[in-house]
Amino acid sequence: MIDTHCHLYDEAFDSDRAEAVARAIAAGVDTMLLPAIDSHSHAQQELLATAFPNHFHQMMGLHPTSVDDNYESELEIVHKKLFGDPGRYVAIGEIGLDLYWDKSHLDQQLDALRRQIRWARELNLPVCLHVRKAHNELFGLLRDLNFNTYRGVMHCFGGSLQEAHHAIEMGFHIGIGGVVTFKNATLAEVASAVPLDRILLETDAPYLAPVPHRGQRNESAYLPLVAEKIAVLRGIDVDEVACATTLAAQRLFSL
Ligand code: NI
């Protein structure tokens, strides 16, 4: 299985990072994708990816909650890394819109997202989108960009089934993680109804640990719990979920 979204370089793993990687591999999660946040964590991300080159792939991008008055210089760093060594990254992410924590930088978030989606097009890379309390704004931006189709994933999908179908029609995959194991009727509906080959498994570790670890630190070794829940919801074998989602991730990120 592939954990398409985890932050194992986060300081939450400072005391046992190598062990967390070993636990993931032992649990059948031998490939993990590392989305970037901002320049404060680039060094740690790079360090982890180069320490385990057979198990990690990196993304590069500016996270929407890191978009503040300083975002132009952060974007410059991202641009330099992406265009300086494009083969190094499997996607531009995580990028997007987040109006949950802070609504005051919406214009800057929109500008940063628009520019990074255009870079993805220039480099022929998929995007990893983080969208929180901003689905209307996101769909508006994508409509205005007016590309025929998009390549990417809506990570930690939190929209309605209708929004999921809309995203899939535009070309996106749906990232599903530990939240699917919580009592959440909307996400259960999405996880059972969308085409299996459009679902990507993810943990978003260290956040959003699945039941029975809810509230604790999340890690990639818990990814099978997500696969199992999706299998139960769809009434199919967990192997089928693992195979289809792994293939989808390999295709999308050219792994
Ligand atoms: Ni993330």
The whole-angstrom separation of Cα 63 and Cα 54 is 25
- DSSP bridge partners of 201: 176
Residue 16 makes CB contacts below 8 A (sequence gap 6+) with: none
**How far, in Å, from the CA of 34 to the mean position of ligand 1?**
8
pLDDT digits (tens, 9 = 90+) for 173-224: 999 999 999 998 899 999 999 999 999 999 999 999 999 999 999 999 999 9
**How far, in Å, from the CA of 41 to the mean position of ligand 1?**
12
- DSSP bridge partners of 33: 57
Quick one: which H or E segment has residue 21?
A: helix 17-26
**How far, in Å, from the CA of 5 to the mean position of ligand 1?**
6
DSSP symbol at 214: T
The whole-angstrom separation of Cα 166 and Cα 208 is 25
Look at residue 228 and tell me whether its pLDDT is greater than 90.
Answer: yes
Confidence of residue 102 (pLDDT cuts 50, 70, 90): confident
The whole-angstrom separation of Cα 175 and Cα 129 is 9
**How far, in Å, from the CA of 156 to the mean position of ligand 1?**
8
**How far, in Å, from the CA of 6 to the mean position of ligand 1?**
6
**pLDDT of res. 150:** 96
**pLDDT of res. 219:** 98
Mean pLDDT of the 234-238 span: 98
Look at residue 136 and tell me whether its pLDDT is greater than 90.
Answer: yes
Query: What is the residue-averaged pLDDT of the chain?
Result: 97
**How far, in Å, from the CA of 36 to the mean position of ligand 1?**
8
**pLDDT of res. 233:** 98
Mean pLDDT of the 53-73 span: 97
**How far, in Å, from the CA of 62 to the mean position of ligand 1?**
11
The whole-angstrom separation of Cα 198 and Cα 88 is 25
The token duo for 71 is: 């975002």
**How far, in Å, from the CA of 4 to the mean position of ligand 1?**
10
**pLDDT of res. 101:** 83
**How far, in Å, from the CA of 236 to the mean position of ligand 1?**
28
Look at residue 52 and tell me whether its pLDDT is greater than 90.
Answer: yes
Share of the chain above pLDDT 90, in %: 97
Look at residue 32 and tell me whether its pLDDT is greater than 90.
Answer: yes
**How far, in Å, from the CA of 94 to the mean position of ligand 1?**
7
How many other CB atoms are found less than 10 A from the CB of residue 185?
7
**pLDDT of res. 86:** 82
153 closest CA partner among 188, 125, 133:
125
**pTM metric for this prediction:** 0.97
